[in-house]
A and B are shown apart, each in its own frame.
Chain A
Amino acid sequence: MILNHSSILRIPRECAIITTMKIRTLIAVAACKISRFALRKIGKGGTNAPGKVILKIYPQVLKVLARNVKTIVVTGTNGKTTTARMIEQSLQESGIRYFANKSGANMLSGIAAEFAMNSTLGGRCKYEYALIECDEAAFKTVSQYVSSQYIVVTNVFRDQLDRYGEITHTINSILIGIKNSPEAIVCINADCSLSVSMIDEITNEVIFYGVEEEIYKERVQEVSDAPYCIKCKTEYEYDYITYGHLGGFRCPNCGYHRPDTSVAVEKVLECTPDISVIQLRLKNNSYTAMINLPGGYNIYNAIAAAAAGVALGIADDVIVHALSSFEGGFGRMEKFTINGIDIRMILIKNPAGCNQVLNFLSNTEVPSLFVVALNDRYADGKDISWIWDVDFEKLTTIQDKLTEIWVTGIRADDMVLRFKYAGVPIEKLKVVKDYDILIQGMISQEAPVYMMPTYTAMLDIREKFSKNFGFKDFWE
């Protein structure tokens, strides 16, 4: 088709290809902008559909759009969104011009849409930097189009095995992504034996970050996702464990061990229900840093972001200040106050993340109402078996800290069963499938609410919040 047209118009072939590329980019970007606009008009997020449209029109469009942008990719199993928000704060405070895929649409289509939305119709990006949260399984594909300058790997845990297969598949996807970006500086969690195993196969400059002592005095009982050495299958020894399989690992057989770090938490100074204070080492300098989100997993997110800051050459004081001033991602400990009731929303998606939420909840002071919303759509993970690997039994030891547990979502029946078998008294359990009744119930009682939804349940409930109580829509 292309050649026919050009011969008719008598335009040299090469020139025609460039022109065609430009035209297709123009059409694709315009289609994306129009469909996003239309979807938002009718109150939808429009985070993925426009991306699908442009990739249909012009599959190579993302390559064109990402060409002259410096891209920071944040990938890994847990903590991507929060880490990206922390990095974003550093970028902002440094006066760097950037855009970010803030809505959490982190698959190929969502990322393509974000690039298009932030480009001119000619396909030129309006910003110098792109901060991209990328699904770990999608990274291998995304990296074929977007070559990044900075890659942050938060950690590797088992997650949604219905989509990703085994953990080793996740590692492979990230590895392919890094290999596709040989120029990138890569920030890797030194405490994660699964992540560190990648360094043998890459030539990139690496910045290791980690925590150098235990975080929690008391931890939930959890199974390790990596008890055996990934290289020689001998059981690891640990100097200390922060949570899950993270910590000072060492293989007694082959010697594979936690590497030295250039960004580290030297000490956890204080943990409250709202913040953590840490002694943070950036290369050779130590700082006291406040992280304005609670929980051990957010300490990891903070140092992942700090490592990215070091890679980007951002000044130390900006990095430290950003950790105390950033705004949490949507659904990540996000607070809604309705009728005087504080509702905190914490996304859950896999055993490791959920166990960390329980670690955090065990340390709250005021008795609270827990609400869990379990969906099993594609984005949530169709397999909900993982709820049986979470140490919900822990809840029976903190009964004085919970007034009741309500469950909702598509798989509410399975969720309530999990709590029953964890030993929570039946009279404390309630199944409320209708979101309107649920929300009405939450704001008609007295206790603060901790709501733990899976991804699509969070979107649905958030939509109710913004429709009925005027909160920001999730893409804002």
Chain B
Amino acid sequence: MNIKICHLYPDILNLYGDRGNIISMEKRLIWRGIEAEVSNISIGESFNYEDYDIFFIGGGQDFEQGVLLKDLQTGKAEQIKAAIEEEKTFLTICGGYQMLGNYYKTWDGQECEYIGALDFYTIGHKERMIGDYAFACDEADGGMIVVGFENHSGKTYLGQGLRPFGTVLSGNGNNGEDKTEGARYKNVFASYSHGALLPKNPRLCDHILKTALKRKYTDVSLEALEDTFEEDANSYMRERLLTNK
């Protein structure tokens, strides 16, 4: 078995350690004897979505956004949309998450068109939502409690046909108002969580890997790994955030 991971814009959307998610997916495949291959695709490089099983897009700075939006219009946006509809697995974080939506409106009213692969929009605010946070995934995704670090000024509101990735237990999530965090659509997992997200949420990492493996090989089971360090990191933050609340 093998899984091909496409890391989109690794040199620009690289701000908050999100590369840890790639490391985590890669290692947890290799430790189980499954081949993993990571390809970096950035500005000016084209790709065919059919060549990959998992797509990853991380968070970045506003400064580089102009470069990015221009590049997406050279065919990448269409590839991403097709990949999503064809049920390829996506993990997108923060800026990478927002990019999949319809638009981003800055706090002073400027509107920025995004690729519209998923029906949601984001409104910028002056105050940033920053801090450790926790959310519970849907039962359909295993119901695990996920911990991470959010750092965003955009408030995201989900539209039709999307369900949230989880319910916020502590912190802000999508907008600090409706207790939703992230978005789920087909095999897309979109979240605000840095941290990096997957290393200290190993069950979530395995769930995402399984999603991709299932699409490719229909019947798969993942053997359990020795996860003491992972579980310790998860439970430390879970307890810090959720006890004495």
Chain A residues close to B by CB (< 8 Å):
158, 161-162, 165-168, 223-224, 227-228, 230, 233, 235, 382-389, 411, 413-414, 416-418, 420-422, 429, 431
B23 neighbours in A (Cβ, 8 Å): 388, 421-422
Q: Which residue of A385, A418, A422, A429 contacts B16 across the interface (Cβ within 8 Å)?
A: A385
Known A382-B132, A385-B20, A389-B17; judge A417-B199 contact (CB<8 A): yes
Across the interface, B151 reaches (CB within 8 A) one of A162, A224, A387, A389, namely A162
- Cα A165 to Cα B131 in complex, Å, equals 13
Question: Does A421 lie within 8 Å of B24, measured CB to CB?
Answer: yes
- The segment out of B72-80, B113-121, B182-190, B230-238 that lies at the interface is B230-238
B223 CB within 8 Å of chain A: no
- Closest Cβ neighbor of B235 among chain A residues: A413
Asked if B67 contacts A418 (CB within 8 A), the reply is: no
Bound complex: CA A158 to CA B15 (Å): 8
Report yes or no: B16 in contact with A383, Cβ–Cβ below 8 A: yes
B181: interface (CB < 8 Å)? no
A388 and B200 within 8 A (CB): no
Chain A nearest CB from B175 CB (Å) reads 19
With A385-B196, A413-B233, A414-B233 in contact, do A166 and B14 touch (Cβ < 8 Å)?
Answer: no
Please report the C-alpha to C-alpha distance between residue A389 and residue B24 in the assembled complex, in whole angstroms.
13
Is B165 on the interface with A (CB-CB < 8 A)?
Answer: no
Question: Nearest-CB distance from B231 to chain A (Å)?
Answer: 9
Cβ-defined partner of A385 (8 Å) among B63, B67, B131, B149 = B149
Say yes or no for B62: interface residue by CB 8 A criterion.
yes
Please measure, in the bound complex, the distance between the C-alpha atom of A167 and the C-alpha atom of B233, giving whole angstroms.
29
Given A385-B196, A416-B233, 20 additional A-B pairs, CB 8 A: A161-B15, A161-B151, A167-B63, A168-B61, A227-B11, A228-B64, A233-B66, A233-B67, A235-B43, A383-B151, A383-B194, A384-B149, A386-B17, A389-B17, A389-B19, A411-B236, A413-B200, A413-B229, A417-B199, A429-B229
A431 to B236 Cα, complex, angstroms: 14
Instruction: Check if B17 sits within 8 Å of A417, measured CB to CB.
Output: no
Q: Which range holds the interface residue count of chain B?
A: 35 or more
Let me know if B130 is at the binding interface, CB within 8 A: yes
Contacting residues, chain A, for B196 (C-beta < 8 A):
385, 388
Residues of chain B within 8 A (CB-CB) of A386 are: 16-17
Are B233 and A417 within 8 A (Cβ)? yes
A382 in complex: contacting residue of B131, B230, B232, CB < 8 Å: B131
Q: Counting CB contacts under 8 A, is B124 at the interface?
A: no
In the complex, B128 has a CB within 8 A of chain A: yes
User: Which has the most chain B C-beta neighbours within 10 Å: A166, A223, A388, A421?
Assistant: A388
Q: Which of A161, A223, A417 has most chain B Cβ within 10 Å? A: A417
A-B pair count, CB < 8 Å, reads 92
- Whether, in the assembled complex, B210 has its beta carbon less than 8 Å from a beta carbon of chain A, the answer is no
Bound CA span A429–B66, Å: 43
> Which 3 pairs, one residue from A and one from B, show the smallest C-beta to C-beta distance?
A388-B20, A388-B17, A385-B17
Main secondary structure of the interface of B (DSSP, over half): mixed
| Residues of the B chain whose Cβ atoms lie less than 8 Å from the Cβ of A162 | 130-131, 149, 151
Closest to B128 in A: A165
In the assembled complex, how far is the CB of residue B194 from the closest CB belonging to chain A, in whole angstroms? 4
Partner of A413, one of B24, B195, B232: B232
Contacting A at CB under 8 A, from B189-212, are: 194-196, 199-200
**In this complex, what residue of B is CB-closest to A229?**
B67
With a 10 A CB-CB cut-off, give which of B17, B61, B66, B229 has the most chain A CB atoms: B229
* Interface residues in B59-106 (C-beta closer than 8 Å to A): 61-64, 66-67
Interface mask (B1-39 → A, CB under 8 Å = 1, otherwise 0):
000000000111011111110011001000000000000
CA distance in complex: A8, B229 (Å): 71
Q: B130: which A residues are within 8 A, CB to CB?
A: 162, 382-383
| Bound Cα distance A167, B67 (Å) | 17
- A388: which B residues are within 8 A, CB to CB? 17-20, 23, 196, 199
* B200 A227 Cβ-Cβ under 8 A: no
CA distance in complex: A168, B199 (Å): 29
Cα of A387 to Cα of B149 in the assembled complex, Å:
13
Q: Identify the closest chain A residue to B65 (Cβ).
A: A233
| Least Cβ–Cβ distance between A23 and chain B, in angstroms | 39
A389 touches B14 (CB 8 A): yes
**Contact yes or no, B64 A233, CB < 8 A:** yes
Contacts of B132 in A (CB 8 A): 382
Closest Cβ of chain B to A66, distance in Å, is 31
Min CB distance, A404 to chain B, in Å?
A: 15
Instruction: List, in ascending order, chain B residues with CB within 8 A of A235's CB.
Output: 43
**Can you spell out 28 A-B residue pairs with CB atoms less than 8 angstroms apart?**
A161-B16, A162-B149, A162-B151, A165-B128, A167-B63, A168-B62, A168-B63, A224-B11, A228-B67, A233-B64, A233-B66, A233-B67, A382-B130, A385-B18, A385-B194, A385-B195, A386-B16, A388-B17, A388-B196, A389-B14, A389-B19, A413-B236, A414-B233, A417-B200, A417-B229, A417-B233, A420-B229, A431-B229
User: Whole-angstrom distance between the alpha carbons of A93 and B175 in the complex?
Assistant: 57
Residue of A nearest to B193 (CB): A385
B20: chain A residues within 8 A (beta carbon): 385, 388, 418, 421
Of the residues A167, A383, A389, A416, contact of B229 by C-beta under 8 Å: A416
Determine if A421 and B67 form an interchain contact, defined as CB atoms under 8 angstroms apart: no
- Bound: A39/B74 CA distance, A: 63
Determine the distance from Cα of A223 to Cα of B87 in the docked complex, in whole angstroms. 31
Known contacts A168-B61, A233-B66, A385-B196; is-contact A417 B15 (Cβ 8 Å): no
Cα(A158)–Cα(B230), bound, Å: 27
A166-B61, A228-B67, A382-B130 known; A421 and B27 CB under 8 Å?
yes
